[in-house]
Amino acid sequence: MSEKRRLGKGLGALIPEVMVGAAETNEIPLDQIKPNPFQPRQSFNEERLRELAFSIKEHGILQAVVVSPTGEGSYYLVAGERRCRAARIAGLNSVPAVVKSIDRKTMLEIALIENLQREDLNPVEEAQAYKRLMQEYNYTQEELARRIGRSRPSIANSIRLLSLPEKILELLVSGEITAGQVRPLLVITDPGQQQEVASQIVKEGLSAREAERIAAKLSLQTGGKKDEDRAVIQDPLHVELQTQIQRSLGTKVRFKQGKNGGTIEIFYYSDEDLERLVAKLLPEGI
């Protein structure tokens, strides 16, 4: 799929007000374009930028960037940061741009959507962008999901990653570990154990499923130590069932045996996490 089709259709469909009346383009000097202050992306692949710069030298910029006036004779870059960076590498002095007055919230949304469409954000940048939109503009997870074309569970799972220790987040940023590999660690309550398992995942190249088994086992062990007055189920079948339920719900689950039957505990760690679990358990609503 071409860049033009991806960007035009994505922004126009998800945030219609962005492209309304925005067909006209102008050549804007690069030295008049300031970086988007709400750009969620912190790192750019230099090799890919050079490849894009070579393409720009050969064919020019096929899709205009989007800029918004600052009111001081310059512009904020709203969409197209890779194109602007590559244009500078290619030695261009200006780029074709659509000029559109855009508010702060929409600038952040556009930057997030553009990067998500290209899968350019690492998991931490993505989670931080979601969290920022929710905190600064009072979006609920459902509203944000509808606004940017994502499912609510995917947003909830993304944001939950930010509760992991900083060293694990650094592994996510560097690409040494994936979100799928570390998500099972969320059921472990001890940060030290989380980091130990993360190191093991990297060292041994464990799959997400293998990480789930280790995390579930550690979760059972810590659960038993904290609730010595109640027997934690150790039956192999129940252990496997507990693991499967934890995998399905994406959170810590604990079985407890009583004299007549037992109980199943489902853990949540924030209001948003509870909302996610309710949506999963009651898909038709309350």
d(CA 67, CA 114): 14
The two tokens of residue 170 are 């650094």
The yes-or-no verdict on residue 102 having pLDDT over 90 is: no
Higher pLDDT, 10 or 49: 49
136, 103 Cβ separation under 8 angstroms: no
The single-letter code of the amino acid at 222 is T
State the Cα angle at 163 between 158 and 169, rounded to 5°.
75
Which residue matches tokens 């948003």?
272
Could you confirm whether domain 3-118 is CATH 1.20.80.10? no
pLDDT in tens, 136-145: 777 788 888 8
Tell me what pLDDT residue 38 has. Answer: 72
Percent of the chain surpassing pLDDT 70: 80
Higher pLDDT, 190 or 23: 190
pLDDT in tens, 2-36: 333 333 344 444 444 554 455 578 899 999 998 87
pTM above 0.75? Answer: no
d(CA 126, CA 123): 5
d(CA 220, CA 96): 58
Higher pLDDT, 100 or 41: 100
User: Which candidate in 46, 58, 81, 196 is catalytic?
Assistant: 81
* Minimum mean pLDDT range among 20-24, 89-93, 254-258: 20-24
- Domain segments of the chain: what residues? 3-118, 167-281
d(CA 244, CA 234): 15
Residue 81 is a catalytic residue: yes
| Buried b / exposed e along 203-242 (16+ C-beta atoms within 10 A) | eeebeeeebbbbbbebbbebbbeeeeeeebbeeeebbeeb
The yes-or-no verdict on residue 240 having pLDDT over 70 is: no
Highest mean pLDDT among 70-74, 81-85, 199-203: 199-203
Higher pLDDT, 228 or 58: 58
Closest alpha carbon to 4 in 123, 128, 117 = 117
Question: Mean of the per-residue pLDDT values for the chain?
Answer: 78
Which residue matches tokens 């290209």?
118
d(CA 15, CA 142): 16
The single-letter code of the amino acid at 232 is V
pLDDT interval class at 177 (50, 70, 90)? very high
d(CA 2, CA 10): 12
Tell me what pLDDT residue 4 has. Answer: 33
Other C-beta atoms closer than 10 Å to the C-beta of 58 total 8
pLDDT interval class at 260 (50, 70, 90)? confident
Tell me what pLDDT residue 88 has. Answer: 92
The two tokens of residue 239 are 């252990």
Mean pLDDT of 270-281: 79
